[in-house]
Structures are given as structure tokens and as C-alpha cells.
Amino acid sequence: MKDGVNKLVIIGSGPAGLTAAVYGARADMEPLLFMGTKYGGQLMITSDVENFPGFAEPILGPELMERMKAQAERVGAKLVQDDVVRVDFKRYPFEVTTPSQTVKALSVVIATGADPKRLKLDSEMRLMGKGVSNCAVCDGFFFRGKRVAVVGGGDTAMEEATFLTKFATSVQVIHRRDKLRASKALQKEAFSNPKISFIWDSLVEEVLGSSKVEGVKIKNVKTGKESLLQVDGLFVSIGYEPNTKVFAGEVELDPRGYVVTRNGTTTETSVPGVFVAGDAHDHRYRQAVTAAGDGCRALMDAEKFVEEKLRG
């Protein structure tokens, strides 16, 4: 803090934000991180994490986030459990506002992530992490020798369905229309995979099972006919929504709401001094480890920016 101005404010507390905080604290940037009222990002709704380097045994998503948070605090980052409700990037120093305060910042890292879109069923939320998943790369491994269904007709659904055939005995794609939205190449790959079959014009009405997924109830939207499908897992792959509404009009967003970076190799946004890390920008890789790597890159960019500012 210099003259009431923070050197670095980080917004978001998933792997991207917390990694930026660890690097920031160690670089004497005295980071102030707004965690949001729900902290921890998508890992808070993930069960076993088996692909984060350094953990020979699986670790629960919330426990991994707890450790990242403890690490950030131990090295001196200041974490505040508050939502950012407004930012002003047109003034400098920047202003970041929560319901209880407005702080000034020489640099900002946006790490607010994205949320997978949901079917908005109570049963889907109840069985999340118990057979319902939004990420085949993260959870596909647990469905070796099992039957799964994938909801969606876009590129993500086709990629996830194809990926899941490595483990599952059958993958049924449930799509609400009779045509896929996915690219021709991904469609072709899915159509030619003998383990994948399609259920057209259908919506999932309920996920069945008490402590784990045992099936899904689906309804054909053309005939109104309901049927039950016995599966052990349901992958909801109907797109993502970046958590960037608060930045609209302040940094450039693409038409889907992802923060645009100025060039391919740095984390700079359209506003010098504002950087982005993780899923708020990255709709391609979306992994905890890539988000963490991005948090490190954003911090290094922010540190260089602030050093140059302070040097005058």
C-alpha cells in the first residue's frame, strides 16, 4: 500500500486468483484479494482431484482450495470474503468497490472464472460430484467400465462424449434438437465412434438416484413421451458462462463475455494495468493447473507494470 493505494488487487479466489496472490505476496506487491462471498471457484463442487501435480493421492476439490488459500495467507496476501460489485478502470489509480468499501489499485488481476451452465434441476445439484459432472477431463476416469450420458449438442459435448469413450462402455448423447451445433469435424468423429449413440429432441427432466446417479428421466419434446435411461454418470456439457458482468464497459469482452487479451502471449487486457487469468479469459483449457499457471503469468505482468509506474 502506498498513499492509500494498493499495488495489486486480485478479484477471484479460484486457482488463478490464489496463485496470483501467492506470487504477488512473494514479490512484495502486498496483494489484496477479494474472494467473493462464495470462494474457491469450480473446485469447490469437484470431488476427487487426481490431476493436480504434487498430489500422489487424490485430494478433494474443496481441500485443495483450502490449502491454496492457507498458502496465500501464510505468504502474506490479504484475503477478504466479499463480492466486487463495481469497478472503475477509467480512472487511475483504478477503483474496486464491494458492498462495504472502495479501494484504489495500481494494478488489478481479474480471476473471476466461469461457471458451467446448469440444467437447473434440484436433482442435478444434489448429485453433483456423485455422478453428475461438468468436466470429462476431470472426472471421466471414475467411469471406467460404466455407462454415461452427455447432455448438449455443441463442440464441448462432442469432445466430452468422445473423450469419455476411453473409459465408459457406452456414451449416450442427449440433445434437445435433432441437429448438432458442433463443428462438422467433431460431429463426424462422434458419429463414427461405435460407443456413442444419440437421443434426439430430448430434455433431461430429472437425475435419478439417492446417493449416486442411477439413471435419468428424459422427455421427448416432439412426442411428449417420457422414458428412463439407466446410466451411472451424467455429464452436463451445455456451455459455460464467464463471471464478467461486473467488467462490462470497463475492459473489452468478446461477444460471449470472455475478457479479451491484447496479444496471445501476455495477460494484458484492453486496459493497461488490468490483467486477466484463468477461465474469465480462457474458454479452451479450463483446468485448475492452467488457471494456476495463468495466475502466475498475470502476476508477473502486473509486477512489471507497477514497477515501471513507480519508477515514473
Residues making contact with ligand NAP (CB under 6 A): 117, 119, 151-157, 159, 176-177, 181, 238-240, 283
We find the least distance from the C-beta atom of residue 186 to ligand NAP, in angstroms, to be: 7
What is the C-alpha separation between 162 and 235, in angstroms, rounded? 12
Burial class (CB in 10 A: 0-12, 13-18, 19+), 227: exposed
- Least Å distance, CB 110 to ligand NAP, is 20
Residues in CB range of 312: below 8 A, 6 or more apart: none
For ligand NAP, give the closer residue by CB, 18 or 288.
Answer: 288
* Residue found by looking up cell 495463468 in the block: 294
Which residues, 6 or more positions from 170, have their beta carbon under 8 angstroms from its beta carbon?
Answer: 147, 148, 195, 197
Q: How far is the CB of 214 from ligand NAP (least distance, A)?
A: 21
| Catalytic site residue from 139, 279, 294, 301 | 139
Angle in degrees, 0-180, between the axes of helices 61-74 and 15-26, rounded to the nearest 10: 20
Instruction: Catalytic residue, from 48, 135, 155, 201: name it.
Output: 135
Question: What is the rounded CA–CA span in Å between residue 180 and residue 199?
Answer: 11
Active site residue 138: yes
Q: Is 296 a catalytic residue?
A: no
Q: Least distance (Å) from ligand NAP to the CB of residue 66?
A: 29
For the chain, what's the residue count?
312
**Residue 88 or 201: which CB sits closer to ligand NAP?**
201
- Integer CA distances (angstroms), 47 to 32, 44, 101, 173, in order: 29, 8, 34, 23
Active-site positions read: 135, 138-139
